[in-house]
Amino acid sequence: MSDLTAEQAGVGRVQDAYMAMTRRKRTYGAVMLIVFVALMVSGFRVADGRNAGGFWNGIGNIFQFPREVLTEAVAKVANLPGLMWKFLPSLIETVNIAAASTLLGALGAILLSLLATRGLAKWPRLIGLFRRLMDVLRAVPEIVIALVLIFILGGGPVPAMIAIAIHTAGALGKLFSEVNENASLKPVEGLQSVGATWGQRMWLGVIPQVAPNYLSYALLRFEINIRASAILGFVGSGGIGYDLKNAFSWGQGRYDEVAAIFLLLFGTIVFFDQISSHYRNKLIGEG
């Protein structure tokens, strides 16, 4: 009998401890929720206060601009195919900026990531340095480099390409080095035993192992870079973003152009999203 009561007491203690822990966790959760809600509400109020037009005034007008564009586009619907043809070269430039910068950035990322992976690095002591370098490259927003380069190199696609490539090198470098860490070192050691140089070891021993994952990440980045390249065009470099800005600042009368560019941009983004996700699924499936 005494055994049973002792056991019951023990269970009771465990239960009490468990309930206390649960209560504490719930309290923490509730406090965090309250803090979060307070942050959201006060943040919204501050943002609303510092905005030129308030939220509640603007919410009614939210469809006004789309409506204006749409009515004009519908009125001049016959122009649309011609306009889309007219802006096609800019669109190709935007896609080219994205593709070239993804390629350049990926090449840089491959090199950086190999130099920053333990076991593969050419100079193991500099691993930390290359990691920090990638962090810095990743942190630089494209617009900063693009604006500086526009000042030096003038407008056009090159500043945007370099700016996006730099960010891409950092962003992909981090992902690539995570992939590298899972690569088997056996082929590398085998190549080393027959006297292969560092470049040969990487090219023949590591790259074939990791290529599918690299490609899949690069495709995802390409998607992101198309958007970035369109935005940079709007801020000042070439491509379709620049045309959009011109048509947009002209205002009413050229909203058919705005509509044509919206359509082109939307179509392109969706198209490349689909292609890239299709191939990514295939690559990951293989891997």
Q: Which residues bind another protein (CB under 8 A)?
A: 22, 25-26, 36, 39-40, 43-44, 46-48, 50-55, 58-59, 61-62, 64-66, 93, 96, 99-100, 103, 135-136, 138-144, 147-148, 151-154, 156-158, 161, 227, 230-232, 234-235, 241, 244, 248, 262, 265-266, 269-270, 273
Q: How far is CA 70 from the centre of its chain?
A: 30
From the CB of 4, what's the least distance to another protein, in Å?
26
Nearest distance, CB of residue 84 and another protein, angstroms = 16
Q: Which residues of 90-124 are buried (b: 16+ CB within 10 A; e: fewer)?
A: bbebbbebbbbbbebbbebbbbbbbbbbeebbeee
Specify the residue for token string 């309290």.
Answer: 27
Query: What does the block give as tokens for 116?
Result: 């920053």
CB of 227 to another protein, least distance (A): 5
Determine contact, residues 184/209, Cβ cutoff 8 Å: yes
Give the position of tokens 């470099």.
237
> What crossing angle do the helices spanning 157-181 and 207-235 adopt, rounded to 10°?
150
Q: Which of 247, 172, 182 is nearest to 216 (CA)?
A: 172
Q: What share of the chain is helix, strand, coil (3-state, %, to 5)?
A: 85, 0, 15
Nearer to another protein, 6 or 139 (CB): 139
Closest CB to another protein among residues 76, 138? 138
CB of 83 to another protein, least distance (A): 16
Q: Which is nearer to another protein, 75 or 139 (CB)?
A: 139
Query: To the nearest whole angstrom, how small is the minimum distance from the Cβ of residue 115 to another protein?
Result: 20
Answer whether 213's CB lies under 8 Å from 179's CB. yes
131, 219 contact by CB (below 8 A): no
Nearer to another protein, 64 or 184 (CB): 64
Pair 143, 232: CB distance under 8 Å? yes
Quick check: 160 and 92 in contact, CB under 8 A? Answer: no
**Least distance from another protein to the Cβ atom of residue 168, Å:** 13
Give residue 125's identity as a one-letter amino acid code. R
User: In this complex, which beta carbon is closest to another protein, that of residue 76 or of residue 227?
Assistant: 227
Cβ distance to another protein smaller for residue 61 or 200: 61
Q: Which is nearer to another protein, 112 or 171 (CB)?
A: 171
Q: Which pair of structure tokens corresponds to residue 84?
A: 């889309």
CB of 1 to another protein, least distance (A): 31
Closer CB to another protein, residue 54 or residue 124?
54
